A = this chain, B = another copy of it.
Amino acid sequence: MTAASKTVSDVIHSHFGTLTRAEKQLAESLLDNYPVSGLGSITTIAENAGVSTPTVVRMVQKLGFKGYPDFQAHLHQEVEATISNPIAKHDRWASNAPGTHILNRFADAIMGNLRQTLSALDTATFDNVASLLSDRKRGLYFVGGRITGALAEYFFTHMQVIRPNTALLSSNSSSWPQYVLNMNPGDLLVIFDIRRYEQEMVSLATAARKRGAEIVVFTDQWGSPAAKLARHTFRVQIEAPSAWDSSVITLFIVEALIEAVQSSTWDETKERMKTLEGLFEQTRLFRKLS
């Protein structure tokens, strides 16, 4: 095989499947901030990746280079090509995409959203919500609208594994009253309500409050009317170069919360996950037999 025409990045990607654990770790470290991360000595990049220098040598040889110097020479050439070509310079996101490609515009927007959301986000709020979610004495209810229903479901699916006493309200409001009926004081209702705020969310929130439930709202920067009834509110930046709003950052916060809850109660969660694995195994078996 020859590494001549393809970029080092391409070569790494095409070999990724055949790499071992330590080598993958190294490859990712190299691709992270590519190609600059490969500029230093073999010692430096081994340290940055948290692997040993022999691993580096083994990998570059596996990739088809003669040795580390050969590998680095290719990298230098690429750096040169990148720098001397002014178009490529503004095009570091997705390679071979015009600078205005939708992927690049989206990536820019997401980054901006993340930055703004996090700078506006109070970490105390985050920590408080995480601890409310971790409290197994509280019942958990998730609800979303037409679009955000998928986020509620995602959140619910994970929390259901982590802890008991968890429910997902369908986005169809007709079944809500029976859930509200079962809410106890201290229970937590997590509402996703973004942009075209759904009027019914306010009614739901009001009813839940009457039953003594705490409310957490995920909304956009303008704020759902339901946020007024909430104990904690996440205001997420949702703008995208699109006719639609972006849910990426909302999902980001959801995932961070999932991890926060999980790590705070890891021992219990571990047990549950094991049990769950076993159940899945049984189901699979059951299907095979049938």
Asked whether, in the complex, the Cβ of A251 is within 8 Å of the Cβ of B247, the reply is: yes
A248–B251 Cα distance when bound, in Å, is 6
Asked whether, in the complex, the Cβ of B31 is within 8 Å of the Cβ of A116, the reply is: yes
Which of A107, A124, A260 has the most C-beta atoms of chain B within 10 angstroms of its own C-beta? A107
Is A150 in contact with chain B by the CB < 8 A criterion? yes
* Cβ contacts under 8 Å, A89 to chain B: 33, 82-83
Is A3 in contact with chain B by the CB < 8 A criterion? no
A94–B255 Cα distance when bound, in Å, is 16
* Cβ contacts under 8 Å, A260 to chain B: 102
A88–B157 Cα distance when bound, in Å, is 33
Number of copies: 2
Is A53 in contact with chain B by the CB < 8 A criterion? no
* Cβ contacts under 8 Å, A114 to chain B: 93, 107, 110-111
Is A135 in contact with chain B by the CB < 8 A criterion? no
Closest to A243 in B: B262
Shortest Cβ distance from residue A16 to the other chain B in the assembled complex, whole angstroms: 7
Is A39 in contact with chain B by the CB < 8 A criterion? yes
Given contacts A28-B116, A106-B256, contact A40 B76 (CB under 8 A): yes
Given contacts A118-B94, A244-B255, contact A79 B83 (CB under 8 A): yes
* Cβ contacts under 8 Å, A123 to chain B: 94-97, 101, 103
Given contacts A36-B76, A111-B87, contact A244 B258 (CB under 8 A): yes
Which of A80, A94, A158 has the most C-beta atoms of chain B within 10 angstroms of its own C-beta? A94
Shortest Cβ distance from residue A125 to the other chain B in the assembled complex, whole angstroms: 10
A87–B13 Cα distance when bound, in Å, is 20
Asked whether, in the complex, the Cβ of A262 is within 8 Å of the Cβ of B248, the reply is: no
Asked whether, in the complex, the Cβ of A248 is within 8 Å of the Cβ of B244, the reply is: no
Is A191 in contact with chain B by the CB < 8 A criterion? no
Is A55 in contact with chain B by the CB < 8 A criterion? no
Among B16, B242, B258, which residue has its beta carbon within 8 angstroms of that of A259?
B242
Closest 3 CB pairs of A and B: A150-B154, A242-B259, A97-B123
Known: A16-B221, A243-B259. 15 other contacts (CB 8 A): A17-B222, A79-B83, A87-B107, A87-B111, A93-B118, A94-B123, A96-B124, A106-B252, A110-B114, A147-B154, A150-B154, A244-B255, A244-B262, A248-B251, A248-B255
